[in-house]
Chains A and B, each alone.
Chain A
């Protein structure tokens, strides 16, 4: 039923990761346990991918993030590499032809792996990492590390390549108090010098003109500039001068070195340019902008950009000056004379690029709302180059261009041509070739997915037509007959065209038949295995991705998203209610102010809905999706503001009436973690609320880190577990149960603890309260069915541990028909067990299936990039210490303190997923199959079968044999029946 497999011989792939040091240490004990488990596990489910299944049901997309520094590889003429260091601490090389990754290095997250500077020299890329902690050199052709040196402590200021006699052999790194020079070839330190008066002077910039001297520029804000000149040979101070500059506060943002060692600065207050020859002058020359006929846009900080094509030579005497958001200038400073070469207005972006000996300026100027033009100008003269203008259309869903990186190259006739990499506000990278042709785009916003949902695809047109016939109200016999006939006709037509297509495709070679998926031919497949992944990214861009292929079907950029927004995505109406379109609502909340907006859209096409969401003027505390539906089958969303008033969306009359009827059954909880206050409210008829319970966890002792409820779309198939003696142990299946995780404020390893509270969200009753002593976070929690699994760091044993809590009602159910939190007086039995886990984890989620019959697995994202599918049966507090007949009957695995990571359990074989931040699971139409999406820096989509594919015939199922046996039997019966008849007849004649 799935695709037929051509290769009958299959090999299991076993991607064993190398043992790490810690693993070796525990291996002695592990060996014992392993021996013990070996026999047990052999009867458990074994899951792995066959070699020919690789990439069939899964895909991975790798991202790099928003570019911070980027250089084109100009070392080889025909090179097709662009190198980039990104905000996500990733250093990568992309193929400029296809946009695919050549190689990628992912560093630590946070400031430790932060890339401070990126210098490119020939085949070596130099990176300063972690606020000046490390200096690394990479070989860009293969992406290998040449060398790495640890630098002295001190915060990083600047780095530059130093040339001498037309060759570049050194790199200088400037820190707060020291300057050090290293060899490019091996990273060894040539010399290191303390900076004079570093406690007063803030050294910020480095400059080298290729003459064997290193200039260090420092500043005492609003007083003077200090220039220290070091000799390249031995680090001796050649010269030390200070120049008055009372208007200057920061060199890096206002100054640049131009031409033959001329410091040029711009000041918006005095509206002037200042120049200083570092070799000869001791006083800055003021050139008022008015004398050049220029003026600065108010409240704009002007920016100077100079260009040094080769570190062994001086910078160009031309430079770019930006005076306003859309105003750039090309200026030339020649022997003290400032000349305006060209005034670009309007111009969004401008950038220098060098090809051979020629340096050009690329300028992007807006044309109209949907297009802009890009042209090259000769940097020395400011003249526009012929045949270099191209027009780009700007998608309104993409955002404004933010930066451009230009790759200029010489054509055969020695004229300059170029390609350009444009980065827009929504972190999209677009690579454009000269006649305005987009070679590729990359959606780097997907490197930071915040939340996602999987939505079922709609029915096909014909299916929908049939469906619509039943949905409509009957209006007379004749019209109904006509309608039925017409829909049958449409079906026939579709069938014929399908047959025609089959016939047509069959004649073509197989490789040419492509099943291209576009938004038009999207439709649900037989088993609902293909879904639309709606992904929300931190930059405020929404994506609709086809789960089968990973292709982006729609994207929408929301302009007005605050930078610190929190998102919550809810599906209000699924595709099941034809002809009403499916509807998703995204709640965007500013974390600081609490003010929120709603974005309502169609998840299949990404179009904004015409329904106007309610205006939310008050900060929103909580949102709640009710199972109630309005007359158009949209689920009701309740938003609770800080006045404890409730806004309903949609808020039609029908909805308000339903809300009034059911108000006394609608409860919700609010968590104020700053005060440790967890309180419950009940809805009133007039959509106000009343507080009905309150639990206060003192913040001096512990702080609440997570409150986790159960997923609303979860189904539990069996109410209890059959024990060894054939009695039933009933599960405590409270849908309103909340797992509250706290961490102690005391971080001392002896006294720190983690608290787990199970609270009923309706009555506020504390069902269970446990404390894990000598433990600390980060805690990962999964809460499902009647169990809670959490993972923490044990400070006593210095290891990661898993703990599982299961709740049972006991041998009999209190009320088997319905569960009500208000009527369940007996507290459940609580069982708990803990295990050692040999790895840290970065995300955790449980599998989810349609009916909940399939056994559950935990999907665990590991920092190593693997995604582990751990059967829940290993995390079962009823695992016995001593094996008895009954526990064997029940199929319980004897208790072993260590959970092993078996390599077959990695569902993503060698497709490592970097920095997993979340795992999303969704049920498919097949009970055995659960769809999984892991997202972080990369996105990985696959299917898992926790209880194997029990409802699917095997790929190698022998249809021929079974049908031939059937036919043979059929004919045998027919013949024997005939023979029997003849025989009977003969006997009757006798």
Chain B
């Protein structure tokens, strides 16, 4: 962040040229997008795996491929197959015994420059109840979370609707294709104390006060009626009491 933008771009480009020469054989000459160099350098794919077993022992199989696009604003897209007939039957079976539907993604570093640095050992896992998966007709929301440096730290999955009401899914077609909403979330910056805005507002307030003619009046102008009232009261109370005390004072 501290580096100026231009220098960053040059660095990225120089790294890229090194990379592209090295990994040219892996690319198979496939060119996407209108900016092929950029896309090829930034995006890479990792498998999204899922597991649902009747005995609840995890056995992960590939569900699809997550295409992660690193960069200032990382994005992600998912290419996934339909569920096979066997899998559909199994999923319903697991749902019937209230088993879990788990997913996992490998730990990756989005911001790394080299392919080898991207993958780290270990996986991030999450789960939903299999029945929720079935009853929502495979409509799930998967969110990937990164930390400040672009490491993937967590994955979460929820289905919409999330409840298990025990309703039967009759139509097999409903369980064929995933209806996935996918997003990637970086940490938000927590706000600090808003001093500047507050001071500005205070200044405005004092200015407003200064402009208000009511406030600029002198003390007597503002409170003349109170002073007058007080004076009258004093006079009345003095005249009401004959100056007996005064005489005593003089003597």
| B193 surroundings in chain A (CB, below 8 A) | 801, 834-836, 897-898
Please state if B126 and A693 are interface contacts (CB–CB under 8 Å): yes
Assembled-state Cα–Cα distance A46/B57 (Å): 59
Please state if B156 and A690 are interface contacts (CB–CB under 8 Å): no
Tell me what chain A mostly uses at the interface: helix, strand, loop, or mixed: strand
Please state if B190 and A766 are interface contacts (CB–CB under 8 Å): no
Assembled-state Cα–Cα distance A691/B122 (Å): 14
Residue of A692, A753, A759 touching B148 (CB-CB under 8 A)? A753
| B124 surroundings in chain A (CB, below 8 A) | 694-696
Assembled-state Cα–Cα distance A12/B72 (Å): 59
Chain B, residues 154-183, CB within 8 Å of chain A (1/0): the string is 101011111110000000000000000000
Assembled-state Cα–Cα distance A759/B154 (Å): 10
| A36 surroundings in chain B (CB, below 8 A) | 202
A559 at the binding interface (Cβ < 8 Å): no
Please state if B145 and A769 are interface contacts (CB–CB under 8 Å): yes
B215 at the binding interface (Cβ < 8 Å): no
Interface residues on A, range: 35 or more
B110 at the binding interface (Cβ < 8 Å): no
A701 at the binding interface (Cβ < 8 Å): yes
Assembled-state Cα–Cα distance A692/B129 (Å): 11
Please state if A772 and B153 are interface contacts (CB–CB under 8 Å): no
| A567 surroundings in chain B (CB, below 8 A) | none
Please state if A897 and B98 are interface contacts (CB–CB under 8 Å): no
B243 at the binding interface (Cβ < 8 Å): no
Known contacts A701-B147, A823-B162; decide if A696 and B127 are in contact (CB<8 Å).
no
Residue of B125, B143, B148 touching A755 (CB-CB under 8 A)? B148
Assembled-state Cα–Cα distance A840/B242 (Å): 65
Chain B, residues 1-28, CB within 8 Å of chain A (1/0): the string is 0100000000000000000000000000
Chain A contacts with B in 681-731, Cβ cutoff 8 A: 690-698, 701-702
Assembled-state Cα–Cα distance A692/B164 (Å): 19
B69 at the binding interface (Cβ < 8 Å): no
Shortest distance from the beta carbon of A606 to any chain B beta carbon, whole Å: 45
Assembled-state Cα–Cα distance A697/B159 (Å): 25
Please state if B187 and A755 are interface contacts (CB–CB under 8 Å): yes
| A765 surroundings in chain B (CB, below 8 A) | 126, 143, 156, 158
| A784 surroundings in chain B (CB, below 8 A) | none
Question: Which of the listed residues B126, B132, B154 has the most CB atoms from chain A within 10 Å of its own CB?
Answer: B154
Residue of B154, B164, B190 touching A756 (CB-CB under 8 A)? B190
Assembled-state Cα–Cα distance A823/B148 (Å): 29
Residue of A794, A824, A895 touching B192 (CB-CB under 8 A)? A794
Closest B residue to A805 by beta carbon equals B190
B128 at the binding interface (Cβ < 8 Å): yes
B201 at the binding interface (Cβ < 8 Å): yes
| A755 surroundings in chain B (CB, below 8 A) | 147-148, 187
Closest A residue to B194 by beta carbon equals A897
Interface size on B, residues (CB 8 A): 49
Assembled-state Cα–Cα distance A698/B141 (Å): 25
Closest A residue to B203 by beta carbon equals A32
Please state if A881 and B197 are interface contacts (CB–CB under 8 Å): yes
Residue of A701, A766, A824, A836 touching B145 (CB-CB under 8 A)? A766
Please state if A698 and B192 are interface contacts (CB–CB under 8 Å): no
Please state if B185 and A769 are interface contacts (CB–CB under 8 Å): yes
Assembled-state Cα–Cα distance A772/B191 (Å): 7
Please state if B141 and A825 are interface contacts (CB–CB under 8 Å): yes
Please state if A823 and B187 are interface contacts (CB–CB under 8 Å): no
Please state if B126 and A763 are interface contacts (CB–CB under 8 Å): yes
Assembled-state Cα–Cα distance A633/B173 (Å): 51
Assembled-state Cα–Cα distance A455/B107 (Å): 46
Closest B residue to A882 by beta carbon equals B201
Closest A residue to B126 by beta carbon equals A693
How many pairs of residues, A versus B, come closer than 8 Å at their CB atoms?
A: 135
A832 at the binding interface (Cβ < 8 Å): yes
Closest B residue to A755 by beta carbon equals B187
Known contacts A692-B125, A769-B185; decide if A832 and B198 are in contact (CB<8 Å).
no
Assembled-state Cα–Cα distance A797/B193 (Å): 10
Please state if A701 and B148 are interface contacts (CB–CB under 8 Å): yes
Shortest distance from the beta carbon of B47 to any chain A beta carbon, whole Å: 17
Assembled-state Cα–Cα distance A823/B131 (Å): 11
Assembled-state Cα–Cα distance A755/B154 (Å): 14
Closest A residue to B129 by beta carbon equals A822
Please state if A702 and B147 are interface contacts (CB–CB under 8 Å): yes
Shortest distance from the beta carbon of A815 to any chain B beta carbon, whole Å: 8
| A772 surroundings in chain B (CB, below 8 A) | 189-190, 192
B56 at the binding interface (Cβ < 8 Å): yes
Please state if A825 and B160 are interface contacts (CB–CB under 8 Å): yes
Closest A residue to B202 by beta carbon equals A32
Question: Which of the listed residues A763, A765, A801 has the most CB atoms from chain B within 10 Å of its own CB?
Answer: A765
B195 at the binding interface (Cβ < 8 Å): yes
Closest A residue to B158 by beta carbon equals A825
B100 at the binding interface (Cβ < 8 Å): yes
Please state if B149 and A701 are interface contacts (CB–CB under 8 Å): yes
A833 at the binding interface (Cβ < 8 Å): yes
B88 at the binding interface (Cβ < 8 Å): no
Shortest distance from the beta carbon of A18 to any chain B beta carbon, whole Å: 26
| B127 surroundings in chain A (CB, below 8 A) | 692-693, 763-764
| A698 surroundings in chain B (CB, below 8 A) | 120, 147, 149, 151, 153
A608 at the binding interface (Cβ < 8 Å): no
Please state if B153 and A697 are interface contacts (CB–CB under 8 Å): yes
Closest B residue to A676 by beta carbon equals B153
Chain B contacts with A in 46-60, Cβ cutoff 8 A: 56
Chain B contacts with A in 183-216, Cβ cutoff 8 A: 185-195, 197-199, 201-202
Chain A contacts with B in 761-786, Cβ cutoff 8 A: 763-766, 768-773
Assembled-state Cα–Cα distance A882/B198 (Å): 9
A486 at the binding interface (Cβ < 8 Å): no
Known contacts A32-B202, A755-B148; decide if A694 and B123 are in contact (CB<8 Å).
yes
Please state if A771 and B190 are interface contacts (CB–CB under 8 Å): yes
Shortest distance from the beta carbon of B180 to any chain A beta carbon, whole Å: 13
Please state if A832 and B190 are interface contacts (CB–CB under 8 Å): yes
A95 at the binding interface (Cβ < 8 Å): no
A338 at the binding interface (Cβ < 8 Å): no
Shortest distance from the beta carbon of B86 to any chain A beta carbon, whole Å: 24
Please state if B125 and A691 are interface contacts (CB–CB under 8 Å): yes
B102 at the binding interface (Cβ < 8 Å): yes
Residue of B107, B153, B156 touching A763 (CB-CB under 8 A)? B156
| B185 surroundings in chain A (CB, below 8 A) | 766, 769
| B125 surroundings in chain A (CB, below 8 A) | 691-694, 764
| A695 surroundings in chain B (CB, below 8 A) | 124, 153-154
| B202 surroundings in chain A (CB, below 8 A) | 32-33, 36
Assembled-state Cα–Cα distance A766/B141 (Å): 13
Assembled-state Cα–Cα distance A513/B56 (Å): 70
Chain A contacts with B in 28-56, Cβ cutoff 8 A: 29, 32-33, 36
| B147 surroundings in chain A (CB, below 8 A) | 697-698, 701-702, 755, 769
Closest A residue to B195 by beta carbon equals A897
Assembled-state Cα–Cα distance A769/B189 (Å): 9
Shortest distance from the beta carbon of A674 to any chain B beta carbon, whole Å: 14
Assembled-state Cα–Cα distance A33/B198 (Å): 9
Please state if B190 and A822 are interface contacts (CB–CB under 8 Å): no
Chain A, residues 479-491, CB within 8 Å of chain B (1/0): the string is 0000000000000
Please state if B154 and A834 are interface contacts (CB–CB under 8 Å): no
Known contacts A701-B149, A753-B148, A764-B126; 15 further A-B pairs (Cβ under 8 A): A33-B202, A701-B148, A701-B151, A702-B147, A750-B2, A764-B127, A771-B189, A801-B193, A823-B132, A823-B162, A823-B163, A823-B164, A834-B194, A836-B195, A896-B198
Q: CB within 8 Å of A: which residues of B? A: 2, 56, 98, 100, 102, 107, 120, 122-129, 132, 141, 143, 145, 147-149, 151, 153-154, 156, 158-164, 185-195, 197-199, 201-202
21 intermolecular pairs with C-beta atoms under 8 Å apart = A690-B56, A692-B100, A694-B124, A694-B125, A698-B149, A702-B147, A753-B148, A763-B128, A769-B188, A770-B190, A771-B188, A771-B189, A794-B192, A803-B190, A825-B141, A832-B190, A834-B193, A881-B194, A881-B197, A881-B201, A897-B198
The 10 closest A-B pairs by CB, nearest first: A765-B156, A695-B154, A897-B193, A825-B162, A823-B162, A825-B158, A769-B187, A770-B190, A771-B187, A772-B190
